[in-house]
Amino acid sequence: MDKDLKDKTYSELLEIVASHQQKPLCGQYLFIFIHQKDATEINAITPLSKAFRQQLADEGFGILSLAPLDQHDDPDGTVKFVFGLCDGAKIEAVRLKDGDRNTLCVSTQAGCRMGCKFCATGQLKFRRDLTAAEIVDQVYHAESICGRISNLVYMGMGEPLDNFDNVMRSIEILNDKRGRTIGIRRITISTCGLPEEITKLAAHEIRPRLAVSLHAPNDAIRSKLMRVGRKHPLEEIIGALKGYQKLTNKRITIEYCMIDGINDQIEHAKALVRLLKPLRVNANLIELNPFPSCRYNASSTHQIKEFAQILTRSGIETNIRFKRGRSIKAACGQLGATWLK
C-alpha cells in the first residue's frame, strides 16, 4: 500500500482515518494541513492526537517533498525549477509571468516515451511516471518562491495522458476547495495525440482544458517529426477530438511548432485549416526553440506571421508564442536540454 499521504485525494484520506477508527474530521485536518498549510511532517498536523500521529508514522506513512536542486531566472520573468526525485531522476517545472497571470508548467514524467524530434525531453531516456504527489509538489514549491499560481498547464516533461491516472488524481487534489482551489477552467492538459486517452478524458468527471500538439497538417510530415504519428494517424485523432467536443462542448487549443521548411509553408497552413474545419479550436504557433542535437531550425518571424494570417482569415483564433525563457533553456521544447550529451 502506498504510504505517501500527499498522494491521497480527500476521499482516500477519509478512508485511511476510518480504517484507524478516527473521526472524519481527522481526514479533513490531514488534507488541509498537507495541501493548504504545506505540512511536510505528520507531527506538524497538531489537531490530530499524538497517538494517531505516532500510529501513522509507525505504519510507514509520510508526506513527500521534492528536493529542489536548482533555480534559474530569465530576464523576461521566466523561472525554471529543477527538482530531484527519490530515485535520483530529475525533472523541471517553469513559471511564466504574464501580467496578473502566474502560470506554472508542470512535468508529469521523468523523461518521455514519445520521442518527438523537436523536443529535448523526447530525446531523454524515459525513467518513470510521476506520482500525483510529485506533480502537486511542483506547484507548492513554485508558490513558495513566486506567489499564488493562478494557471496550471500540464506541458512540461513527459506526456500527461500517458500518465493518465496520476495526472487526474493531481488535478482533483489541486482543484479541491480544501486545498489550493485552482479552478478547473484554469488547468490545461497538453497531449501529443493519444486518441484512446482523449476519449477517456472526455468521459471523466473532471474536465480541464485540452491542448493538442499537432505540429503538422498531414500524416507524412507528422510521422517524421513525431513517433506517435506512426501509430495514430490524424484521422484517428480528429475523430477522438470530435467525440471529446461533443461530450464537453469545450474549445480545443491546437499547438503547432513552426519549423523552417518542414511545416511552415502556405500550403501547410491551408491544409491545417481544412483539417481543423470540423472542430472549434484556437491555435498557438510556437517558435521552435533550439537544443543540443536538434537538427531543425525555427521558421522566420515573417513566415510565422504569414502562417498566422492564413489561419486567422479562416476564422481560427491564432496566437504566436515567441521565445520565453530561452536563455535558461526553459522555453517550450527545451526542458531537460541541459542533460543531453
Q: What are phi and psi of 339, to 5 degrees?
A: -95, -5
pLDDT tops 90 at residue 98: no
CATH topology of domain 5-58: DNA polymerase; domain 1 (1.10.150)
pLDDT of 341 > 80? The answer is no
Portion of the chain with pLDDT greater than 90, in percent:
96
CB-CB contact of 41 with 99 (8 Å): no
Which pLDDT does position 309 carry in this prediction? 98
Average the pLDDT over each of 19-28, 137-146, 332-341 and give the range with the smallest value.
332-341
What CA–CA distance (Å, rounded) separates 152 from 102?
A: 9
CB-based contact 114:227 (threshold 8 Å): yes
Q: Going edge to edge, which strands form the sheet with 151-154?
A: 67-73, 79-84, 90-98, 101-105, 151-154, 187-191, 209-213, 252-258, 281-287, 317-321
- Own/partner pairs for 20-24, CB < 8 Å, 24+ apart? 20/52, 20/55, 20/56, 22/48, 22/52
Helix ranges restricted to H, the chain = 10-19, 24-35, 50-58, 132-146, 164-175, 195-203, 219-225, 228-231, 234-248, 266-276, 301-313
How sure is the predictor about 215, in pLDDT bands with cuts at 50, 70 and 90? very high
Closest Cα to residue 174, out of 192, 199, 148? 148
All three cell numbers of 275, joined, read 483539417
> Pick the catalytic residue: 26, 192, 294, 332?
332
pLDDT at 99: 87
Residue type, 18: A
Asked if residue 253 has pLDDT above 80, the reply is yes
The pLDDT assigned to 1 comes to 46
pLDDT computed for residue 33 by the predictor:
98
- The CATH number, out of the four listed (3.30.710.10, 3.20.20.70, 2.60.15.10, 3.30.429.10), of the domain defined by the range 67-339: 3.20.20.70
* CA distance linking residue 152 with residue 39, whole number of Å: 22
Look up residue 224 and give its amino acid.
K
- Domain residue spans in the chain? 5-58, 67-339
Cell 533553456 maps to which residue? Answer: 329
The pLDDT of residue 154: 98
Rounded to two decimals, what is the model's pTM? 0.96
Percent of the chain with pLDDT over 70: 100
Q: Residue 315 CB: number of other CB atoms within 10 A?
A: 11
SS3 290: coil
Instruction: Indicate which residue of 26, 92, 116, 287 is catalytic.
Output: 92
> How confident is residue 2, by pLDDT bands cut at 50, 70 and 90?
confident
- Position 294 scores a pLDDT of 93
Question: Could you report the per-residue pLDDT of 155-208, keeping only the tens digit for each?
Answer: 999 999 999 999 999 999 999 999 999 999 999 999 999 999 999 999 999 999
Report the distance separating Cα 320 and Cα 65, nearest Å: 36
d(C-alpha 240, C-alpha 194), whole Å? 9
Q: What is the mean pLDDT of the chain?
A: 96
Answer yes or no: 172 catalytic: no
Active site residue 332: yes
Instruction: Find the mean pLDDT for residues 66-85.
Output: 97
Residue 292: its pLDDT value, please?
87
